[in-house]
Amino acid sequence: MVFDYIDGASGAESTARRNRSAFERFLLRPEILVDLSARTLETSLFGQPVAMPLVIGPTGMNGAYWAEGDLCLARAAKAANVPFVMSTAATVKLATLVAEAGPLRWFQLYMLRDRGLAQALLERVHAAGFQVLQLTVDTAVTGRRNRDVRNGFTLPFRWSGRKLIDTALRPGWAMQMLHTGSPTLQLFAEVVGRIEPGSTITEVVQRQISDAFTWRDLDWLRSCWPGKLVLKGVSEPAHVRMGLAAGIDGVVVSNHGGRQLDGTGSTIEQLPRIAEAADGRMTVLIDSGFRHGADIAKALALGADAVQIGRPALYGLAAAGEAGVHHALGILSAELEVAMALSGACNVRQLRGRVDVAVDVDVDGVKPSEASRVASRPC
């Protein structure tokens, strides 16, 4: 049930599949005879230097995958000198994470129905040194994830004979949970009070998240948050233009890893139009479907400033805790460096434009109508 919570998506999971298959439509352009001796993955995000264009994005229920999962992710990000985004659905308290995380700590907000609670949370987050706020905007209604429904994935865990047998086959995980206890949404509980036992994750979140927060309300949020403000869940150029008008500092091109609206396009397909609309006036991040360093290189070539990862870090976390996250980040870093170098780029900025669009690749049975080529920029 825990693997399915990480790996699963909403509906028929077609968007999750398309997030992966769409990468085959974009082809990195090799370059030769380039001096690469001074190459580097270092860049900056919101004025902060980072070791590579990667962010460990916000994910919930991390304590269900490994004991103190949120802290494992935060410590790995600190060691790698990349940002870590704490989720509103974290399984640790705010002060506990602050004590373990590095200076590159960002926060993800699900807008709460109670504005007073939301404002109080933001004040605490800012006072704790979080510099960037990501507002998730694609969860006004929570997607129906059939694997979770089938498994009866609840918070805290609700046991059945089938689950007990499944758990018995994974003694390492079972011993961790016996030692630490069933994970709970500790930050949610700090903010909204006691969470009713037996509630599903969807029920907990849906009861608290506002389904009436609109573009008109961004002025209120902008006035409450003095740091950088990012919209997570952007999928259209119009969202960028409206965000710029509202004083937004960045966007995350995201479909929640296919966990919300099923049947949509992939984020890598949407990225070029969004990057064009941003035109360097805001930071453009992207997530959903990224598994390899070459995927990251393609996103940078298409206009992203950095890639935000979810499942790759969680697979590492679930396999080996903090060491697993370190290993996952190391793989992505090594693969990205190779992809960048063989594309003739000395740094991440020089990857921009070094990509073609294939005309003979099916993405979920749909072929591009015609050839398209992105202009190249010299190294």
Task: State residue 247's pLDDT score.
Answer: 95
Identity at 294, one-letter amino acid code: A
Burial of 22 (0-12, 13-18, 19+ CB in 10 A): buried
Query: What is the structure's pLDDT at 361?
Result: 65
Give per-residue pLDDT as tens, 45-101. Answer: 999 999 999 999 999 999 999 999 999 999 999 999 999 999 999 999 999 999 999
Residue count of the chain: 379
Query: 315 or 150, which is more confident?
Result: 315
Domain 2-366 falls in which CATH fold? Answer: TIM Barrel (3.20.20)
Q: In sequence order, which residues have a C-beta less than 8 Å from that of residue 346 and are 6 or more positions away? A: 34, 35, 36, 38, 39, 40, 379
List 126, 239, 256, 292, catalytic entry = 256
Does the pLDDT of residue 368 top 80, yes or no?
no
> For the chain, what is the mean pLDDT?
91
The pLDDT of 223-227, averaged and rounded, is: 96
pLDDT digits 0-9 by tens, 321-343 = 999 999 999 999 999 999 999 99
CB 134, CB 221: distance < 8 Å:
no
Rounded Cα gap, residues 71 and 51, in angstroms: 20
Check whether 375 has a pLDDT greater than 50.
Answer: no
Active site residue 256: yes
pLDDT at 369 (0 to 100): 45
Residue 75, Cβ density class (10 Å: 0-12 exposed, 13-18 middle, ≥19 buried)? buried
**Is the model more confident about 159 or about 147?**
147
Is the pLDDT assigned to residue 281 strictly greater than 80? yes
Q: How far is CA 245 from the centre of its chain?
A: 24
For the cut 60, the answer to whether the pLDDT of residue 377 exceeds it is no
pLDDT of 17 higher than 50: yes
Residue 311 half-sphere exposure toward CB, CA atoms < 13 A = 21
Beta strand 84-86 pairing with 105-109: parallel
Give residue limits of the domains in the chain: 2-366
What's the pLDDT tens digit per position in 95-124? Answer: 999 999 999 999 999 999 999 999 999 999
**For residue 202, what pLDDT band results from cuts at 50, 70 and 90?**
low
Antiparallel, parallel or unpaired: β 283-286 and 306-309: parallel
**Straight-line distance from the first to the last Cα atom of the chain, in angstroms, rounded to the nearest whole number:** 48
Contacts of 29 (CB under 8 A, 6+ apart): 343, 354, 355, 356, 376
**How far apart (Å, rounded) are the C-alpha atoms in residues 373 and 280?**
20
Q: Give me 109's structure tokens.
A: 């907000």
Judge contact between 81 and 111, C-beta under 8 A. Answer: no
Q: How confident is the model at residue 196 (pLDDT cuts 50, 70, 90)?
A: low
